[in-house]
Structure 1
Amino acid sequence: MTTLKVAVIGCGSIAKNRHLGEFNSNPNVEIVAVCDIVEERVQEVAEQYGTEAFTNYEDVLKIEEIDAVSVCLPNYLHAPVSIAALEAGKHVLCEKPMATSIEEADAMIEAAKKNDKKLMIAHNQRFVTSHQKARALIESGEVGKIFSFRSAFGHGGPENWSADGKESWFFKKDEAFIGAMGDLGVHKTDLLRYLLGEEFVEVASFIETSSKEFADVDDNAVCILKSESGIIGTLAASWAYTAGEDNSTIIYGENATLRLEDDPNYSLIVQYRNGEVVNYELGAIQSNEEGGQTTSHTIDHFVEAILENKEPLIDGEEGKKSLEVILAALESMETKKFSQIN
């Protein structure tokens, strides 16, 4: 099988904890370059993986042998660097949120089409076993009509694991553009779209900065979402859950309630209307805390999509749809009105 030659652009925590390790573990991949503006950081990573270090991404994109790149940069650089990589003939795996505007997202999608390259957004929640099982149960009709949901993704904040702590780009509006909603809320938006199998059409939100006085982005958000068939529910995204991570989703259906990642022992609990309860042990969810699963499966899926020339599960269009919900939530907070989602 062909060996895919990859570069990782940005060597902060997400690259170190996910991308680099997972690329390195894939037998069909060779990491040929790593890049970061912090020379000490990139040299350390290059030494660890026995590869070449760069401090300018444009130099990386000039290397012809590179087939694909991971873009693990601050949010405001996702679109320009991804587009430059696609224009240079590289496949791109971009961290979320894919962009800071719909215009940027469209430009990324267009660049991928024009250059006939794969563009995948690193929404990893679709690869969690409990989430995949829940989708199958919903698709099969076993849960019946879906009435409502509630989903949360929260932890103590990026300062606890980001490479730069409280000085991290995560807290700077000009680099992050959006806080907990972009970091965590967009993941849950993507998951809910995947589970329900339909799009959201309307959102109302409260998006605040309440726990990080040093930040100029949101750290605590609650949204009410309505889908095209009329399913309503809540999504919470927070950096204010100081006692531990919450990554749970509950789906309320006609015949059953699905509790996902809501119990320390069972990753999926199905509570049927007739009183029957089925507990599934499906392995731990990916997490920045101890005990999370060791692989996100995102990297392997990206590699497989390239080698087998198939469209990745979360392509640019999918990434854009999840971004649209987040942008509409921001608009709702600003206007104090419901926002329509295109």
Structure 2
Amino acid sequence: MGFIIFRCSLVSDLDKVGFAVVGLGVIGQVHASNISSLEECRLVAVVDQVRERAEETGRRLGATPYNSIDDALKNPEVEAVVIATPSYLHAPQALYALQHGKHVLVEKPMATTLRGARLIVRTAERMRLRLGVVFQERFLEAARRLKEALSNGLLGRVYLIEAELKWWRGESEYYRSDPLACSWRGYWETEGGGVLMNQAIHTIDLILWLGGDVEKVSGITANALHPSIEVEDVATAVIKFKNGSLGAISATVNTRPTTRQYRKIRVYGEKGHAEIHDLSLSMWLDDGEVNVDGSMISFGELHRKLAAEFASCIRRGDEFPVEGTEGIKSIELIKAIYLSSERGEIVSLPLIEGEDSL
């Protein structure tokens, strides 16, 4: 006698959060695919200015395609919007979605200016809506284990945090790879910055999460090897955290050979030290060693965890771990580094009125 097996979701369709994904480039496709397969979510709509791309993605993932965010926001089944468009569109599109009563999960940077980021946060608070920022590395096991170790005092008093990002982004294959890239990448007005604002911002978010708020910073930025862009391709900064510990940031997209790219975060305490190398953690203590291997993590896996948590927080009414107020912190520090480099002086945080227009 045969058996019929029925597979049912633990979450009913009525309980699933209806999402629209705006912007279907590489990272937008990741978000759309993740959301379409998550138990907590339902992919209702996909939006892209390229009609064929929106239609193909909609057919493949079972979502309604749109060519404008305006039309997608009129769909009553859309409760939350993922903004994955070029950086200069993040703030206006996030504001527009919030004003239509939608929760927003916005890619980094949440805005190209600090003033814009603050405006989004105020709007979300006024509308009583969830505003999340895509800092998916907060969901990295190596980072969470290090955060837990610091919270439990395993390393003792921390006195130094170092961050290095040594990547490669070529002019022809990245900044000028196609007409769309040429229209916004590498310009202050549309990208808001260079290696710090685009590539190193995840690493900066992590050191702020691990080390706390910053009191002051001194930084120098430069464009060494990318003559076709306005923004920096190399930057260094020294920071003092409010808790008294020191920090150092070094970032570039000029690393050659390209096979030697890496990201490292080192935390030094009175009882030991730890290092996150790309996605893995090693921690050395007087009484032993702790290792977390992240080498098998696939691209998009952390985005998936973040989206699932965002949807769950909407349904539970809980605070999302990477709310807009957290997204502001990295932007403020980056803008302070730019100010320091421009003025040739130490800059104190928080940035005051007039400095937040950067």
* C-alpha spacing 1:160/1:41, structure 2 compared with 1 (3 Å): farther
CA distance in 1, matches of 2:295, 2:214: 28
* C-alpha spacing 1:102/1:164, structure 2 compared with 1 (3 Å): same
Residue identity matched to 1:269: S
Partner of 1:294: 301
Residue identity matched to 2:31: H
Q: Is the CA contact (8 Å cut-off) linking 1:156 and 1:244 kept in structure 2?
A: no
* Distance apart, 1:65 and its partner CA: 1.5
Q: Counterparts of 1:94-173 in structure 2 under 5 Å?
A: 94-157=106-169, 165=177, 167=179, 168=181, 169-173=184-188
TM-score (norm: length of structure 2): 0.86
Q: Which has the larger radius of gyration?
A: 2
CA distance in 2, matches of 1:333, 1:214: 21
Specify the SS of the correspondent of 2:302. coil
Q: Is the CA contact (8 Å cut-off) linking 1:159 and 1:166 kept in structure 2?
A: no
Q: Is the CA contact (8 Å cut-off) linking 2:158 and 2:270 kept in structure 1?
A: yes
Task: Note the alpha carbon deviations across 1:98-136, whole angstroms, 9 max, x for none.
Answer: 112232122111211122110001111211101111111
Q: Counterparts of 1:1-342 in structure 2 under 5 Å?
A: 1=11, 2-16=15-29, 18-157=30-169, 165=177, 167=179, 168=181, 169-196=184-211, 198-241=212-255, 242-261=258-277, 267-272=280-285, 274=286, 276-284=287-295, 292=299, 294-296=301-303, 297-342=305-350
* C-alpha spacing 1:158/1:55, structure 2 compared with 1 (3 Å): farther
* C-alpha spacing 1:143/1:166, structure 2 compared with 1 (3 Å): farther
The alignment covers a number of residue pairs equal to: 331
CA distance in 2, matches of 1:88, 1:255: 51
* Distance apart, 1:25 and its partner CA: 2.3
Structure 2 residues not aligned, in runs of 5+:
1-10, 351-358
TM-score (norm: length of structure 1): 0.90
Residue identity matched to 1:227: F
Specify the SS of the correspondent of 2:90. helix
Q: Is the CA contact (8 Å cut-off) linking 1:33 and 1:60 kept in structure 2?
A: yes
Q: Is the CA contact (8 Å cut-off) linking 1:185 and 1:326 kept in structure 2?
A: no
Task: Note the alpha carbon deviations across 1:113-172, whole angstroms, 9 max, x for none.
Answer: 122110001111211101111111111111011111211234222879869736513323
CA distance in 2, matches of 1:50, 1:163: 33
CA distance in 2, matches of 1:158, 1:54: 33
Q: Is the CA contact (8 Å cut-off) linking 2:40 and 2:312 kept in structure 1?
A: no
* C-alpha spacing 1:158/1:129, structure 2 compared with 1 (3 Å): farther
Q: Is the CA contact (8 Å cut-off) linking 1:71 and 1:95 kept in structure 2?
A: yes
